[in-house]
């Protein structure tokens, strides 16, 4: 009797799972999706579905498109055109048009956050100066892997981040923090990872300029590797940052102190720059420190005056340190920000190897 009971329990538990049974042949694996919104507020969705009809899978997929009032409805309408149901768990890229990002950002993402099948581990892009449709078409035509592009761009240039939708939502839910989303652009028929779009209160305000994306990433501790250039012609110093650590601390309620520790290699120098002696190295370090500091200062000034968004989480710092300033509307303008950069040159690039 007990045996049968155990068997019954096991069967009940086991068969319960059967509702999730899907054969691989029934899946239309969506690689990337682009969403546009028309003037009258209807969504247009373009989905790249992996073409698995060939025995060897190719990167080129099939684009299906549909339009309706809501995202869910639109996604479901694609079933009329595709032979299988869209499978979103392996989607890597979601491209939103600028209009959606500015007007209906959270409403659009709502579907993806709620969908129990989706993984929310995809990368979000804002289409800069073009429709999602064109970007999706270019991605498919050129067989571009946006994920790999983004990862290498973040790792070696530092003008983007590899935050997935989940990470972005986590950031959004933190008090005193506004988010940055990567953007992409079509340049000469190719996709380019462009300056990051910044958000305030869950809707997009605008795009950062290129250098500020890097500075912003330095301040958010998102840099692995990037290039900093100072001076021109004879005074040129180009250095490769190989590690960067930023520490933000709050002193007496309103003084924010930013300390950046940078390890760098010298990659190129002009005629006037000498790095033969220890003093020379110190001098170059000073030049770089100055450059980084000035970058950060101008960026924080811009944050206060122009962007008016808390992209580096100063509000979050105030909140964590329980500063009363956090409750005030324009706390950004009320804090004093001091910057200290410390550069250590690891490798001057001498011909004679030191080891």
Partner 1 sequence: MNNILEYIKSRCEELDDVYFRQLEIEGEKIYLISSDAMTDSNLLSNFVIRSIVECIKNNGKEDEQEEDISLEEKILKKLGENKDKIHFEDMLSINKIKKLDIDKEDIFKYIFSGFAIIIYDLSVYAVEVKASLTRSISEPSSENSIRGSKDSFVENIMKNVGLIRNRIKSEDLVYKEQQVGRKTKTKVALMYVSDIAKKDLVKYVENKIQNIDIDGILDVNYIQEFIEEENDSDFPISINTQRPDIVSYYLLQGRIVVLVDNSPFALILPAFFEDHINNVDDLYQKSKNVTITKIVRYISLAITIMTPALYLAITTFNQESIPSQLLRSFTAQREGVPFPAFIEALFMIFAFEILKESDLRANKVTGNTLSIVGALILGDAAVSAGIVSPIMIIVVAITTISGLMFSDINMLNALRKWRIIFMLFSSLCGIIGIGIASILLIISLVDTKSYSKPFTYPIAPFNLTEAKKNLFGRMNISKDKTRQKILTNNLTKSR
The residues that touch partner 1, with contacts defined as CB under 8 A, are 10, 13-18, 20-25, 27, 29, 31, 50, 52-57, 87, 89-90, 92, 117, 119
Cβ closest to partner 1, residue 10 vs residue 113? 10
Cβ closest to partner 1, residue 15 vs residue 355? 15
Cβ closest to partner 1, residue 4 vs residue 15? 15
Q: Residue 198 CB, nearest distance to partner 1 (Å)? A: 29
Using DSSP, state whether 73 is helix, strand or coil: helix
Q: What angle do CA 241, 209, 240 make, to 5 degrees?
A: 10
From CA 127, how far away is CA 197, in angstroms rounded?
10
From CA 21, how far away is CA 151, in angstroms rounded?
33
Q: What angle do CA 325, 330, 334 make, to 5 degrees?
A: 60
Q: Residue 139 CB, nearest distance to partner 1 (Å)? A: 14
Cβ closest to partner 1, residue 20 vs residue 233? 20
Cβ neighbours of residue 241 under 8 Å, at least 6 residues apart?
A: 158, 223, 225, 226, 227, 228, 262, 263, 264
Q: Residue 117 CB, nearest distance to partner 1 (Å)? A: 8
**Chain Cα centroid distance, residue 262:** 22
Cβ closest to partner 1, residue 34 vs residue 313? 34
DSSP element (H, E) containing 171: helix 165-173
Q: Residue 213 CB, nearest distance to partner 1 (Å)? A: 27
Q: Are 257 and 251 in contact (CB under 8 A)?
A: yes
Q: Residue 351 CB, nearest distance to partner 1 (Å)? A: 43
Cβ closest to partner 1, residue 25 vs residue 252? 25
Q: Residue 307 CB, nearest distance to partner 1 (Å)? A: 35
123-127 and 180-187 strand pairing: parallel
């Amino acid at each position: 009797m007990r045996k049968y009971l155990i068997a019954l329990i096991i069967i009940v538990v086991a068969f319960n799972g059967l509702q999730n049974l899907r054969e691989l042949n029934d899946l239309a694996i969506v690689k990337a999706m682009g969403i546009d919104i028309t003037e009258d507020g209807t969504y247009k969705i373009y989905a790249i579905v992996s073409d698995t009809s060939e025995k060897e899978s190719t990167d080129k997929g099939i684009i299906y498109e549909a339009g309706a009032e809501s995202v869910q409805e639109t996604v479901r309408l694609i079933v009329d055109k595709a032979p299988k149901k869209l499978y979103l768990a392996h989607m890597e890229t979601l491209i939103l048009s600028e209009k959606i990002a500015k007007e209906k950002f959270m409403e659009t993402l709502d579907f993806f956050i709620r969908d129990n099948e989706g993984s929310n581990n995809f990368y979000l892009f804002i289409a800069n100066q073009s429709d999602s449709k064109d970007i999706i078409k270019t991605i498919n035509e050129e067989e571009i892997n946006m994920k790999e592009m983004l990862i290498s761009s973040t790792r070696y240039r530092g003008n983007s981040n590899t935050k997935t939708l989940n990470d972005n939502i986590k950031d959004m839910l933190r008090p005193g923090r506004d988010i940055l989303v990567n953007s992409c652009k079509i340049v000469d028929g190719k996709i380019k990872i462009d300056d990051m779009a910044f958000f305030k209160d869950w809707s997009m305000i605008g795009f950062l300029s290129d250098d500020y994306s890097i500075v912003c990433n330095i301040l958010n501790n998102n840099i692995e590797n990037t290039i900093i250039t100072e001076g021109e012609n004879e005074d040129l110093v180009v250095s490769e940052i190989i590690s960067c650590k930023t520490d933000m601390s709050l002193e007496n309620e309103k003084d924010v102190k930013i300390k950046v520790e940078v390890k760098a290699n010298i990659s190129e120098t002009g005629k006037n720059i000498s790095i033969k002696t220890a003093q020379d190295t110190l001098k170059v370090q000073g030049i770089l420190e100055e450059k980084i500091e000035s970058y950060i200062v101008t960026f924080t000034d811009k944050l206060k005056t122009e962007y008016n968004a808390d992209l580096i989480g100063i509000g979050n710092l105030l909140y964590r340190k329980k500063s009363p300033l956090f409750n005030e509307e324009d706390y950004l303008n009320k804090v004093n920000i001091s910057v200290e950069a410390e550069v250590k040159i690891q490798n001057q690039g001498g011909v004679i190897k030191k080891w």
